[in-house]
Amino acid sequence: MSADMAALDQRMAANAEAIETELERVLPPVGGRQARLCEAMRYATLGGGKRLRPFLVAATAELFDVPFVRARRVGAAIELVHGYSLVHDDLPAMDDATTRRGRPSCHRQFDEATAVLAGDALQCLAFDLLADEATHPDPAVRCALVQGLAAASGVDGMCGGQMIDLLAEGRELDLEQVLELQRLKTGALIGFACEAGAILGDAPVEARRALRGYAGDLGLAFQIQDDLLDVTGHVALTGKDHGLDAAAGKATVVALLGIDGARRELQALQRSANAHLDRIGPCRLLRELFEFVISRVN
Ligand code: IPE
Ligand code: IPE
Ligand code: MG
Ligand code: MG
Ligand code: MG
């Protein structure tokens, strides 16, 4: 590993620790008659995951001199939505996955009804966090964050993408259709994580536009690498079931272009992402992060 990548690794680990602490603080303690629900919410979000989306909030917030405590809180909210999306994605009605983050998936550890409710409640908690005064003193900023997360998660974001993903099983989509699916199911939330730093920092329009371009490329690259890992990865590293995409006939770039074709697509996306960043400045951290995303093994 190069010195730059080792430094990035350290920063990501420190950020992950800060997010773990924040999540621990905001998640409901296990107790009362809803104890089982609280336990499932904690199971689905604590003690695992790369915490990439919160790191993106911190990295973009840093460009606009936003204090880390604010970025951390917004990052935690996004991570709650991400956790909910994984719990529901693993359900038998969706990908029917047995393993997540090296442990039984939430519905396997608890039961399907509890997993559905845990996902629902995680989503509610995310919006509660963003709306809270402690997130930002300006209500207009809080509203923009709430609206941004809602848009990234809903019909024109993650949920819409998941619907298309399921409908596309066993069907032939062309490359543009697959990329559109992936922009929604994965790209939208990653895009909001980048945008959130700009919202918190009241960034100029030009910088926002460039960041949006970078985030679009990063989101696609992230999902293509995820699809590659489903074929080429090691369960011991990814902590999730392998080969599910091919078994379900998922529409992926790998299914369409093969492993080498998907890797070429990653290179093209990296060139495009770097060109977007050239319009803002050096942005070393964001460039390194892209490299991390396309070379990650988990
Ligand atoms: C997995 O996301 C689901 C996709 C959107 C591809 P991550 O790979 O970020 O999952 P964790 O949070 O690190 O477990
Ligand atoms: C899921 O994509 C994207 C989500 C919105 C959760 P995948 O179904 O490929 O994610 P994994 O591979 O199960 O993590
Ligand atoms: Mg899925
Ligand atoms: Mg899945
Ligand atoms: Mg996958």
Q: Are 231 and 258 in contact (CB under 8 A)?
A: no
CA 72 to each of CA 49, 101, 120, 162, 233: distance values in angstroms, whole numbers, following the listed order: 16, 22, 22, 27, 30
pTM of the model as a whole: 0.98
Q: Is the C-beta atom of 136 inside 6 A of ligand 1? A: no
pLDDT of residue 48: 96
Pick the atom of ligand 1 nearest to 79's CA: 12
**Angle (nearest 5°) at CA 104 between 100 and 109:** 130
Q: What is the pLDDT of residue 3?
A: 83
Residue with the smallest CA separation from ligand 2 atom 5 is 185
Residues of the chain with pLDDT below 50 are none
Pocket test for ligand 2, best of 90, 95, 245 (most atoms within 8 A of CB): 95
138 Cα to the center of ligand 1, angstroms: 31
Q: Residue 207: what pLDDT?
A: 95
Taking only the tens place, the pLDDT of each residue in 57-115 is 999 999 999 999 999 999 999 999 999 999 999 999 999 999 999 999 999 999 999 99
